[in-house]
């Protein structure tokens, strides 16, 4: 268990040290080695403010597979991406292989190009950060693959969320305008909210009413001229008001 926590911490530290989007591919390659996967792929399918087709992708797949993927226009007909639009839970690729002849052909080609014998894709959906997909593959089979997935999936979900948060952090450019300083309570509630806690949970944790938490989040949103409290959180991270370590859990 201690070794698992060490690996997870190293992975999160690696992500926090990402400062330029152009270096994301190198980070994903480092993470692949850390988690013991055959391949990793992070795809930001939609980021608010970006053109719909302007995707952010970083993967450890072979160049041959990447070229084939583009030449066959799979980014518009990828059965994995299509299937994960309908679920918020990690999806094992084995559930899709026999869905159709086209799907079977897709996975057969992927295996021939070294993608991996098995895989799982984790949908990442956030109202302000958009939609992303974090995929992990392995050449393990049968019970070995099932054991790897059961053992590693909780950490992989955290890693995927951390990548999404960090890339949005970098994408959201710090504003140069002046704004009113946040109070200690506003900063605290905002960090908890961006970390994924609900308003009621934050109120219970801080022994205040949900109304008080909501009022603080509304105040922060107004002070930072944000689209909503979650967007305010990303702006606060980009401005250095909230460190990433406060919101990755």
**Does the global pTM surpass 0.85?**
no
Domain ranges of the chain: 2-171, 184-246
| Residues 237, 169 contacting (CB under 8 angstroms) | yes
Domain covering 184-246: architecture: Orthogonal Bundle (1.10)
- Residue with token string 């690996």: 7
| Residues 92, 142 contacting (CB under 8 angstroms) | no
Provide CATH code, domain 2-171.
Answer: 3.30.450.80
What span, in angstroms and rounded, lies between the C-alpha atoms of 127 and 148? 31
Residue 139 neighbours by CB distance under 10 Å: 15
What span, in angstroms and rounded, lies between the C-alpha atoms of 2 and 17? 22
With a pLDDT cut of 90, the percent of the chain lying above it is 53
When mean pLDDT is compared across 12-16, 136-140, 199-203, 230-234, the lowest value belongs to 230-234
In this prediction, residue 176 has a pLDDT band, given cuts at 50, 70 and 90, of very low
Question: Which range among 48-52, 111-115, 124-128 has the greatest average pLDDT?
Answer: 111-115
- Which residues have CB under 8 Å from 64's CB, separation 6+? 113
What span, in angstroms and rounded, lies between the C-alpha atoms of 170 and 65? 28
């Amino acid at each position: 268990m201690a070794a698992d926590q060490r690996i997870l911490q190293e992975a999160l530290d690696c992500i926090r040290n990402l400062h330029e989007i152009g270096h994301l591919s190198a980070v994903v390659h480092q993470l692949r080695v850390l988690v013991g996967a055959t391949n990793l792929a992070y795809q930001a399918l939609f980021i608010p403010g970006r053109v719909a087709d302007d995707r952010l992708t970083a993967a450890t797949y072979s160049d041959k597979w990447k070229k084939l993927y583009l030449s066959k226009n799979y980014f518009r007909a990828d059965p994995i991406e299509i299937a994960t639009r309908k679920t918020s839970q990690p999806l094992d690729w084995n559930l899709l292989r026999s869905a159709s002849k086209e799907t079977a052909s897709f996975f057969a080609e992927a295996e021939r190009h070294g993608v991996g014998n098995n895989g799982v894709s984790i949908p990442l959906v956030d109202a302000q950060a958009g939609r992303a997909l974090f995929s992990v593959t392995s050449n393990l089979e049968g019970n070995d693959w099932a054991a790897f997935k059961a053992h590693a999936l909780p950490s992989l979900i955290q890693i995927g969320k951390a990548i999404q948060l960090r890339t949005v952090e970098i994408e959201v450019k710090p504003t140069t305008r002046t704004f009113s300083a946040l109070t200690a309570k506003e900063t605290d509630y905002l960090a908890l909210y961006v970390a994924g806690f609900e308003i009621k949970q934050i109120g219970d944790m801080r022994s205040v009413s949900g109304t008080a938490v909501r009022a603080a989040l509304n105040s922060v949103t107004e002070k930072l001229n944000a689209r909503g409290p979650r967007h305010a959180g990303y702006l606060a991270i980009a401005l250095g008001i909230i460190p990433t370590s406060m919101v990755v859990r």
